[in-house]
């Protein structure tokens, strides 16, 4: 469960040693996969696609799109999810702030990644945007991601100023926020 109603603690709620061991094994596996994904993407772009460059080279500028979108949607967004689930020893406000920092970094990477793709496309004679299923799924994912961030930031950080009055609303929003976060991560 989500910890909106409680504060910090060990997050185990009576978890036995085997469940904790499984949790930490899965956490380690997730970290290996996240770091592996971004590392292999960077290696592929640098080794086989000619590297990256912001301007004067359309192909290498578009290569930024690969790294930054995977870095934002997968690596940083994945860490935002993991941080919230694994840092159960901290006060929940610190956890929320760290979760938000990863999302802000993710938004930054995604924004620069999409700008690099648009600029690369615009530098050809007949620029085309959103002509593939990939483009439309990406646009939908970015829209849901932005909505998720705005609703989450407003509901779980800003509304803490009236903690008691908004507690029930935030508790009801938690499963929706959690499920949409996983859907967005899957779409990415």
Q: What is the pLDDT of residues 46-66, one digit of tens each?
A: 999 999 988 788 889 999 999
Of the residues 117, 152, 167, the one at which a domain ends: 117
Please name the helix (run of DSSP H) or strand (run of DSSP E) that holds residue 121, with its range, or none: helix 92-122
Please give the DSSP secondary-structure letter assigned to residue 161: G
* pLDDT at residue 14, rounded to an integer: 56
Q: Kindly state whether residues 187 and 110 are assigned to the same domain.
A: no
Q: Are residues 167 and 77 in the same domain?
A: no
Whether residue 158 sits in one domain with residue 104: no
Task: Give yes or no for residue 1 having a pLDDT over 60.
Answer: no
Please write down the long-range contacts of 38-45, taking CB distance under 8 Å and 24 or more positions apart. 38/67, 38/70, 38/71, 38/74, 38/75, 41/66, 41/67, 41/70, 41/71, 42/67
Rounded Cα–Cα distance for residues 143 and 28 (Å)? 30
Q: Domain limits at 180?
A: 130-188
Cα gap 36→158, rounded to integer Å: 35
Question: pTM above 0.75?
Answer: yes
Q: Report if residue 27 sits inside a domain.
A: yes
- Residues 103 and 33 reside in one and the same domain: yes
Answer yes or no: is pLDDT of 157 > 50: yes
**Domain count within the chain:** 2
In a domain, 1, yes or no: no
Given a cut of 70, whether residue 143 has pLDDT beyond it is yes
Kindly state whether residue 74 falls inside one of the protein's structural domains: yes
Q: Which residue has the higher pLDDT, 175 or 89?
A: 175
pLDDT band at 7 (very low <50, low <70, confident <90, very high): very low
Residue in 82, 143, 137 with CA at minimum distance from that of residue 107: 143
Q: Is residue 21 part of a domain?
A: yes
If asked whether residues 50 and 112 sit together in one domain, one would say yes
Assess if residue 166 is contained within a domain: yes
Name which of 170, 165, 184, 15 is nearest 93 in CA terms: 170
Residues 83 and 142 in one domain: no
The domain boundary, picked from 91, 117, 143, lies at 117
DSSP letter assigned to residue 3: -
- End-of-domain residue from the set 117, 140, 167: 117
């Amino acid at each position: 469960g989500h910890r909106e109603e409680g504060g910090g603690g060990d997050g185990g709620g009576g978890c036995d040693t085997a469940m904790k061991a499984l949790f930490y094994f899965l956490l380690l596996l997730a970290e290996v996969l996240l770091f592996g994904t971004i590392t292999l993407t960077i290696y592929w772009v640098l080794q086989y696609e000619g590297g990256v460059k912001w301007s004067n080279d359309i192909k290498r500028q578009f290569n930024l799109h690969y790294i930054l979108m995977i870095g934002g949607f997968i690596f940083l967004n994945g860490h935002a999810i993991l941080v919230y689930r694994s840092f159960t020893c901290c006060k929940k406000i610190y956890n929320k702030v760290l979760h938000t920092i990863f999302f802000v970094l993710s938004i930054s990477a995604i924004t620069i990644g999409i700008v690099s793709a648009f600029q690369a496309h615009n530098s050809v004679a007949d620029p085309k945007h959103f002509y593939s299923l990939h483009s439309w799924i990406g646009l939908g994912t970015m829209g849901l991601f932005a909505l998720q961030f705005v609703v989450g930031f407003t509901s779980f950080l800003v509304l803490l100023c009236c903690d008691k009055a908004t507690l029930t609303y935030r508790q009801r929003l938690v499963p929706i926020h959690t499920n949409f976060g996983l859907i967005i991560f899957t779409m990415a």
